[in-house]
Chains A and B, each alone.
Chain A
Amino acid sequence: MTIVFVETDPAGEVTLTSAEAITFARKNPQLLPDGGAATSREVSGPPSGSTEGVVIGPLSDAAVDALGRLGVGVIHHLEHPDLAEYSAAAWAQAIVDVTPESGTLLASGTPRGMELMAHAAVRTGARMAANVIAADEEGLLRQVHGGTAFERLRLDGDLQVLTIAGHACTPEETTPITPEIIAYDLTVAEADLATRVQRTEVEAADDASGLTSARAVVGAGRGVGSEDGFAEVLELVDHLGGALGVSRVVTGLGWRPHTEQVGQTGSRISPDVYIACGISGAIQHMAGIEGAKTLVAINTDEESTMVQRADYAIIGDLHEVVGAVNEEIVRRRG
C-alpha cells in the first residue's frame, strides 16, 4: 500500500503539490520495495483504492471530493486539539500511527512534507529518499546536486519513506470514487509538543504562496542592476496579475526578500509563463522553474543558459525591453 500525507491550504483545498504526489503514488504501484509483486488488495485490485491519504486537521468536503477524483480510496483523518498547531514530531507520530509496517509512505517535497517524512522515517526505522522523480523495477530516481544529476537508488526494508520533488508529475484525475473516511482516537505525547508552533505572524511579504500559485511569474536577476531597478518588472507583474520571483543574487544583495527567491533554496514554481529578466540560468535557479510551461528570457547575453533553455527570448537591456512591453500592453488596452 502507498500512503500519502496530504497537505491542504487554509481554504481546505488539496494543495497542487499534494495532488502531484498522489498522482505519482497512483501511477507507480511498483513503489513497493518488492517491485510491486505483493498481493495486497491495493496492488492487485483495480487502480481505484490503491492509494490512501492522511489528512491532519479539518477535512473539507472539497478535499474529500478532490481526493476521490485523484483516486484516493481511503482517507485517514487525524484530528486532535493538540494537532491544531503544527508540531513536526506530533504530526509525524500521528502519521506513523496509521502507516502500515510495509509499503511506501510519501509526501510532496515541500518543507512540511520533507520534515514530516524525515521524522516518520526515524520513528519507523525506515530509510528515506528525498526529491524522488521516478520509480521503476530498478528502484527510485531522485534529484541530487540541485537537479544537475539524478541518483538511482534502492531503499531496503519493508517500509520506504519518500518525498516527491515538486513538479515531478502532473496531477491527473481518474475515475472518481467515494473515499472511505476513517477517523481515529489519537493520543499525543506531551514530549512531541515541544516543537509546536507558538504563533504565526502573517504579513503580506511572507506569503510565498502567491508565487507558487501565480499563472504568470516575472523573474528578476542581477541584471536588474540595483535595489531601485525593479520599477519596470513590477509594472509588468501588475499588468499580468502575476508574481515577482527573483534569483539568489537578488536576495543575497538584499534587493528583495528571500520569500521571493525561486530555485533550489527558494520556491519551486509552475506558472503558465515565466519571464526571466537578467537571470543567467544557473542550475540552482533552473531547479525552481522546471514546471513553467512557457519560458521567456530577456537578457543581454544571447549565449546565457536562460536564453538557450527558453522557448522565446529577446536580446537586450531588460529595462528598455520590459519598459517597451509595458507600453505596448497599455497601448493595446487603448
Chain B
Amino acid sequence: MNILVCIKRVPDIAGSVTLDAAGTGIDESGLGHTMSSHEECAVELAIQTAAQAGGTVTVLTLGPAEAVEQLRAAVAVGADDGILVEAAGPSAFAPEDIAQVIGDVIRDRAAAGQTFDLVLTGDDAADTGDFQVGIRLAYDLEHPVLTNIQTISVGGADGGGGSGGERGSGRIEARGIGPAGTEIFSLDLPAVIAVHEGGVDPRYPSITGRMKAKKAQVVEYDAPDPGTGSPRIRLELPEVKASSVTILGEGPEAAPALVDVLEEIGVIRP
C-alpha cells in the first residue's frame, strides 16, 4: 500500500508573537519551525500502516524551499521519499488552492507511475487552522474522506494489502473520538483520511534515519499561481492583558486561602 502524507511547515510558537512589516503574517525570523502536530501523528500512522500492509510512505509539502527540512524530518523517522511543491508565499493560497495544487501533483505522479492508495493529512494546520484541505482534496480526487481519525488498521474483504489492482484496493478501518465514544469507520481505498493527534506517539529519528534523510529523494514542483487566492486582509494581535493576579501565598500555608476562593465560587462538594 502506497501512502502519501501531506505535511506543513509551521512556526513553533510557545509564547506571544509579533507581526511582519506588512501586517499580513507573523514575524518568523526568531522562531524555529516544525511540522504541525496532527501531521506528526499522520506520518507515524502511515509508517505503521505501510509496515503492516507492505508499501511506501511519501511525504508532500507545499511551502518555502526550507520546508524540505520537514520532509527530511519525516524521512528520518521512516518515510521513504518526499515531494516539495515550492511556493514562495504559501499564505497567498486559500485552502481550496492548496487542495487543487496537491490534487494536480497526485495526478501528475500517477502519470509518472507513482500512485497512492491512501492520502493522509492532519485535521488542520497549527498556523492557519483551516480544517478543509483534506476534505477539499478528497472531493478533488473523488475519494471518500474521514476526519478526526486517531488510528487506522488495514482490514476488510481482501486484507487491504493491495490485490494487484491498478489503484488502491481493499479496506481500511479507522477509529476516531466522537461525541459519544470511539467511532469506528470502514472504508474502501483509495481514500483520504485527516488525522487528529493522540492515537499514536510520533517516534524519534534514529541515527540511520537521519543519514537516510540526508540522501532521500525529493521531487520538486513549482507551485502555480494561487487560483482563488487567500481571503486574508491582515493579521491582528490580541490585546495584551496586564497581569492582575492575586498571589495567595507560597507553599502549603496558602492552601486555606485557596479553599476560601473555591468555597466562594461554590465548587466544593458538600
Residues of A within 8 A of B (CB): 7, 9-10, 86, 88-89, 110-112, 114-115, 118-119, 121-122, 127-131, 138-139, 141, 143-156, 163, 194-203, 206-209, 215-216, 238-242, 248, 251-252, 254, 257-259, 261, 264-266, 272-273, 282-284, 294, 296-297, 302, 305, 307-317, 320-321, 323-325, 327-329, 332-333
Contacts and interface: CB of A to CB of B under 8 A. Distances in A.
B216 interface: no
B144 A195 contact: yes
Contacts of A194: 144, 187-188
Interface of B: 11, 13-17, 19, 26, 37-38, 94-96, 123-124, 126-132, 135-136, 139, 144-148, 150, 177-188, 196-199, 201, 228, 230-238, 241, 243-259, 261-263, 265-270
Contacts of A252: 201
B268 A240 contact: yes
Given A196-B185, A240-B267, A312-B258, 16 more contacts: A122-B135, A128-B130, A128-B132, A151-B128, A153-B231, A200-B183, A202-B180, A202-B182, A203-B182, A206-B181, A258-B198, A265-B197, A266-B198, A294-B265, A320-B252, A327-B255
Q: Please report whether the interface of chain A is mostly helix, strand, loop or mixed according to DSSP.
A: mixed
A283 B127 CA distance: 12
Given A86-B178, A209-B179, A240-B268, A143 B184 contact: no
Contacts of B250: 314-316
Return the 5 tightest CB-CB contacts between A and B, nearest first: A258-B198, A324-B252, A324-B255, A202-B181, A316-B251
Given A148-B13, A149-B26, A143 B145 contact: no
B163 to A, nearest CB: 19
B258 A325 contact: yes
Nearest to A193: B144
A149 B150 CA distance: 27
22 contacts: A9-B179, A88-B145, A112-B179, A127-B231, A131-B129, A141-B236, A144-B235, A146-B129, A149-B236, A153-B231, A198-B185, A198-B186, A215-B267, A240-B267, A240-B268, A261-B198, A294-B261, A312-B258, A313-B247, A314-B255, A315-B249, A325-B258
Contacts of B146: 88, 195
B124 A130 contact: yes
Contacts of B268: 239-240, 329
B181 A203 contact: yes
Contact of A314 (B95, B144, B148, B249): B249
Contacts of A296: 258, 261
A130 B131 contact: yes
Contact of A152 (B26, B236, B270): B236
B242 to A, nearest CB: 9
Contacts of A195: 144-146, 185, 187
Contact of A273 (B19, B243, B247, B265): B265
A201 B198 contact: no
Contacts of A7: 179
A273 B262 CA distance: 8
A111 B148 contact: yes
A119 B148 CA distance: 14
Contact of B248 (A294, A313, A320): A313
B226 to A, nearest CB: 13
A311 B246 contact: yes
Contacts of A320: 251-252
A146 B198 CA distance: 17
A260 to B, nearest CB: 10
A209 B177 CA distance: 11
A130 B132 contact: yes
Given A141-B236, A148-B13, A208-B177, A118 B131 contact: yes
A154 B255 CA distance: 50
A151 B182 contact: no
Contacts of A329: 259, 262, 268
B232 A119 contact: no
Nearest to B251: A316
Contacts of A156: 231
B184 A197 contact: yes
B267 A272 contact: yes
